[in-house]
A and B are shown apart, each in its own frame.
Chain A
Amino acid sequence: MKRQIFLPVLLFGLFSLSTAFAEEQQEQNKFSGEISAQGTLTHVNGNEAKFNEYGDVRNGLYGDVKIKYDDDKYYVDFYSRNMLYDTQSYDLEGGKWGAYKFNINYSEIPHNFTYDAQTFYSGAGTNNLTYPTHTPSTNTGTWNTFDYSTKRKDYSAGFKLDVLKPFFLDFSAAIDERKGIYPIGAAGTNPGGISLELPAPIDYKTNSINLLAGYVRNPLFISLGYFYSNFTDSDTSLNFRNPATNNTASVTDTYSLPPDNQFYKINLKGALKLPLNSKFNVDLATADAKSDAVLRNSYVDDIVGGLRNITLSTPFFNGEVITNNIATSVTSKPLSFLDAKLFLKYDDRENKSDVITITDATQTPATFTNTLFNYRRVKYGTELGFQLPANFYFLGAYNHSTISREREDIPDNRDDLFSAELRWKGFDFLTARVGYERLDRRADFQLTDPTDIETFIRRFDAAGKSRNTYKANLDFFPADNFSISLGYKHRDTNYPDTVLGLTGDRGDEFLIDVDYLINKRIRLFGSFDYEYVRQDQFQRQTTGTVDPSLPPVPAAFNWTAAQKDENYSYAAGAEIFIVPEKLTLLLQYSYLQADGSVDYTYLLGANPLPAGRTQDNIDLSNWDGYKLTCVLIKLSYNVTKSLSVAAGYVYEKYDYNDAQYDGYQYVPAVTGTNGAYLTGAYNNPSYESNVGFMTVTYRF
């Protein structure tokens, strides 16, 4: 309500002020600006959180203000958007031409997930979730409601000094605050057990500063940078009563939330022009991330019905990861028809965190430690471009990289990447390109124990693979008022070493863009995009033998899954200049459809499938499927040079359909210990919205 009163008063005040300025400064023309007020009427059927996932569109009055002062020496720009709404931002920038610049900014970003989520816990949004009796009520009508939603507030300021040219100084600082409630999940017991969906509090603050100083004058650029970021979390743990254990109200389970951390980085960058139209570039950096946490020496255990004590070699964890980066390159154009580039890049991650020794009698072995992950990456390569006769240009590239990491299964990768592209600009109105890229990844696999299923798994992030990518593009602009772009891309990845895991990944994409201005009165535009992606997996379900080559039995068999995503989207629109520079009508329609599916196959040989199942009735035909339809109609009228009005209507319909949310239940009725207490997070995001708006803009 305050917003509804304050905003009109503010806009009216600014309008009056701007009129005065406009009259006073007309001759000098130093002040300029724009004030706009937009009234919006909104009607949403369905999920308002998804409709406003990153927005704050509702019934009300929205205001934007731009004010600019600009003279021969100084300038100041102020721009505010969506004042007093959840998407508001305020930017003040200014400075003295050629001497210095400053900026002060504030912005908000909402992220809405689900409104009116439900839980039997009380205390949603705090770090303590409780409920009164051992077994929670399954009557969701008695549960508490809350919203899964976060809001980010960014405050930042910066200062750039140019007056000491060729030396420069650039300083900026920012505070990023994020608050809200976010869905997390916990296993009631471990291993297995029921799933608990919990509302976790988010109360983060990140302070950062960035300092850059250097020298730039042809042929030399050199800069030294320092970046510091300090992240603090008001809640580094979430306490909750666990209904899966034989608990009492006095025994609280604890969920670990992100720890505070600090990050420092020092960076030296340089570039030096060399003879033969060449340039040498260097980028050196070292960074250090630190965190600390007090470790708990017990956890809630269903077997003991209370806290199970464990022994830790130290009650504190000090995390530290150091990363180093060296990147050097030389680019050159020694001959008019030749472009060349050589580069070498090295980066590593050294984890110097504490290794904690844990003794937990429930585990085998009872004593174990956390594993620290490190890696080292070296990459080098070359790129050669040739200007060929008949306006052809050929670009060929090769790079090789090696990755060494602390990992038991695949400690090393060696990648060879070749690419070639041919461009042709034979006509002023046409550019055509075709490209090909080939990646070969070799992976050193270390495990050999045939009784361990890990021996057969190849994790796709590091598994050996070969990938072919083909691209073709055509940009056709026969006239300044007409352009067509066509693009096609095919990608095919095979994992020849993989026994269990992702075995193939392929995709095709085709797109068209058209823009046509007819007689300076009508602009027609449209686009079409089609994408098909398929991922194939080969897996094994077993409580017995692990070797996938053994004949299947009901307790140990292989299965496959093919995930397919087929998307197509198109948009078409017209901008009609009914009265040029006076009255404009904009019509726009867009549609996006994503059809996801999964085809499963049991590889059971002659063994029967589990009761009721056939190879056909197990598949999923709705796997993150959705349709999004948008219509926009907008009529704009420039009443005078200073005053314009616009009115419009936006229709949006989002239909989501997914097998994991079909028939959603807060407490799924399953036997045994595999149930769940859910809260409705991400459930049923479909919506249909109608938004009407009218905008008045005054420029001065």
Chain B
Amino acid sequence: MKIKKIKGWLFSLFTFFLLVSVTTVFQQSATADGDYAGIDVCRACHQKNYDSYLKSTHAKAAIPGNPANKNSCESCHGPGLAHVQTGGAKGTGMIAFTKKDDPEMKQAICLSCHQDSTAVPFWNLSRHKVNGVSCSDCHSGHSGTKNNLKLAEPALCYTCHADIRAQANKQSHHPLKEGLMKCSDCHDQHGGSGPKMVKADTVNELCFKCHAEKRGPFMWEHPPVAENCLTCHVPHGSNHGKLLSSKPPLLCQSCHDATRHPGTIYTRFETFPGSATSNKNRMIARGCLNCHTNIHGSNAPSVRGQDFVR
């Protein structure tokens, strides 16, 4: 009953917003006014920043709407005349894009131009926005690096996501630390409707982009595989081979407890040096996967395929 009420409430709100959208009048973007000092004045004191600005795409006059076509430095940092007149004093309204500045204010400055970019139409859905991350935490308005990133991936992402760094350093991992993959190969840091900001509508769709051989569709399907790769795998790193969340046979036994071998307890006695005289091949090496390798699906005949052993 309670849940029903919440559902009703949520849908009422949702409908309200949709109705509002019908009556939308395209908003006019506000124009800023102020006293500008000009780029040459900025250069006089900030030569190093001026030089790095020239290396950036922001300095390209050929790009419509670029700072180079507006007020250069002051397009982003704000009108600087008062700053100049007070001899470079702080507290004159200049925006330095430091950690201390309000993230929303910093975002708003960038979006005043980049809202017409294809990169950030869904920034409002990004967890980064919700968590108070601003554009300038990752991008520099000055540098000449690709996408103006302050650091290369994954080091840039690890500055906040230290837990992911710890995962990615585990023995089983995607080749991130080897520099052959990037976080942004899978994630859209600017937001989207996929889970965990991945660049796909579902986890499986994302994984199949590189692992297309697992896409099937197979005659014999393994339902948890078809539903979500993350039932058995973790994406960022694992102590267990193949990025598995646990280790066979125990991983498989979490779901498959039946008469005969799926329910059998496999212990130290079933390892290579163990004294057991049977069942060893369900424990040694890759455990269940010694026989059931085609666990992602099979087209083999009869129970050979149904049991994923061919």
Contacts and interface: CB of A to CB of B under 8 A. Distances in A.
Nearest 7 interchain pairs by C-beta: A319-B217, A327-B193, A97-B62, A258-B213, A187-B291, A221-B121, A618-B267
A354 B217 CA distance: 10
A: contact size bracket: 35 or more
Contacts of A664: 272, 285
A460 interface: yes
Contacts of B207: none
B286 interface: yes
B223 A310 contact: no
B228 A461 contact: yes
A375 B263 contact: no
Contact of A259 (B23, B25, B118, B218): B218
A520 interface: no
A363 B304 CA distance: 11
Contact of A261 (B212, B264, B301): B212
Interface in B275-309: 275-287, 289-294, 298-307, 309
Interface of B: 3, 6-7, 10, 13-14, 17-18, 20-21, 23-27, 29, 57, 60-64, 66, 98-100, 115-118, 121-122, 124-125, 130, 132, 146, 162-163, 165-166, 169-171, 175, 178, 180-181, 192-193, 201-202, 205, 208-210, 212-221, 223-224, 226-228, 231, 239-241, 246-247, 250, 253-261, 263-265, 267-269, 271-273, 275-287, 289-294, 298-307, 309-310
Question: Considering residues B125, B210, B256, which has the most beta carbons from chain A within 10 angstroms of its beta carbon?
Answer: B125
Contact of A97 (B21, B60, B169, B282): B60
B24 A457 contact: no
A375 B27 CA distance: 41
Question: Considering residues B117, B205, B219, B264, which has the most beta carbons from chain A within 10 angstroms of its beta carbon?
Answer: B219
Contacts of A356: 219
Given A187-B291, A271-B122, A678-B285, A668 B221 contact: no
A506 interface: no
A105 interface: no
B302 A659 contact: no
Interface in A213-252: 214, 216-221, 223, 229, 231, 233
Contact of A612 (B3, B208, B209, B275): B275
Interface string A160-186: 000001101010000010000001111
A416 B178 CA distance: 39
B63 A256 contact: no
A662 interface: yes
Nearest to B62: A97
Interface in A594-619: 594, 596, 598, 600, 602, 610, 612-613, 617-619
A97 B263 contact: no
B285 to A, nearest CB: 6
20 contacts: A96-B62, A168-B118, A258-B216, A279-B124, A281-B124, A298-B301, A299-B302, A321-B226, A373-B227, A385-B130, A453-B258, A480-B98, A539-B257, A540-B257, A617-B268, A620-B271, A624-B239, A660-B287, A668-B272, A674-B280
Contact of A216 (B116, B255, B272): B116
A320 interface: yes
Given A185-B291, A255-B310, A327-B201, A675 B17 contact: no
B273 A281 contact: no
A256 B299 contact: yes
A691 interface: no
Nearest to B277: A671
A249 to B, nearest CB: 20
A158 to B, nearest CB: 13
Nearest to B176: A54
Given A321-B216, A509-B163, A561-B250, 8 more contacts: A54-B178, A166-B116, A185-B289, A272-B21, A358-B301, A370-B219, A461-B224, A511-B163
Contact of A460 (B125, B255, B284): B255
B184 to A, nearest CB: 15
A459 B268 contact: no
A331 B246 contact: no
Given A332-B17, A461-B228, A218 B29 contact: yes
Contact of A674 (B132, B273, B278, B302): B278
Contacts of A407: 223
Contact of A289 (B216, B228, B278, B283): B216
Given A382-B10, A459-B254, A565 B294 contact: no
A130 interface: no
A675 B283 CA distance: 11
Interface in A618-666: 618-620, 623-624, 626, 628, 654, 656, 659-665
A672 B165 CA distance: 47
Contacts of B303: 190-191, 360, 363
Contacts of B285: 197, 660-661, 664, 676, 678, 681-683
A2 interface: no
Contact of B24 (A274, A398, A477): A274
A563 interface: yes
A561 B310 CA distance: 30
A299 B300 contact: yes
A588 interface: no
A675 B279 CA distance: 8
A19 interface: no
A283 B170 CA distance: 35
Contacts of A261: 212, 215-217
B310 A299 contact: yes
Contact of A383 (B130, B282, B309): B130
A280 interface: yes
Nearest to B69: A98
Interface string A134-166: 000000000000000000000000000000011
A344 interface: yes
Contacts of A531: 166
A321 B286 CA distance: 31
Interface in A454-504: 454, 456-457, 459-461, 477, 480, 485, 487, 489, 500-502
Contacts of A275: 20, 23-25, 27
A349 B209 CA distance: 17
Nearest to A160: B118
B268 A618 contact: yes
B300 to A, nearest CB: 4
Given A327-B193, A373-B227, A676-B290, A190 B215 contact: no
Contacts of B217: 261, 289-291, 319-321, 351, 353
Nearest to B296: A258
B309 A511 contact: no
Nearest to A513: B162
A216 B118 contact: yes
A258 B214 contact: yes
Contacts of A575: none
Given A400-B7, A540-B257, A218 B265 contact: no
A373 B219 contact: no
A78 interface: no
A659 B271 contact: yes
Nearest to A317: B219
Nearest to B260: A191
B259 A344 contact: no
Contacts of B219: 293, 295, 317, 319, 353-354, 356, 370
Question: Considering residues B99, B146, B227, which has the most beta carbons from chain A within 10 angstroms of its beta carbon?
Answer: B227
Given A233-B213, A663-B273, A317 B299 contact: yes
Nearest to A345: B193
Contact of B212 (A170, A231, A293, A385): A231
B100 A428 contact: yes
A347 interface: yes
Contacts of B212: 176, 204, 206, 229, 231, 261, 263
A457 B273 CA distance: 32
Given A54-B178, A321-B216, A613 B257 contact: no
A325 B202 CA distance: 9
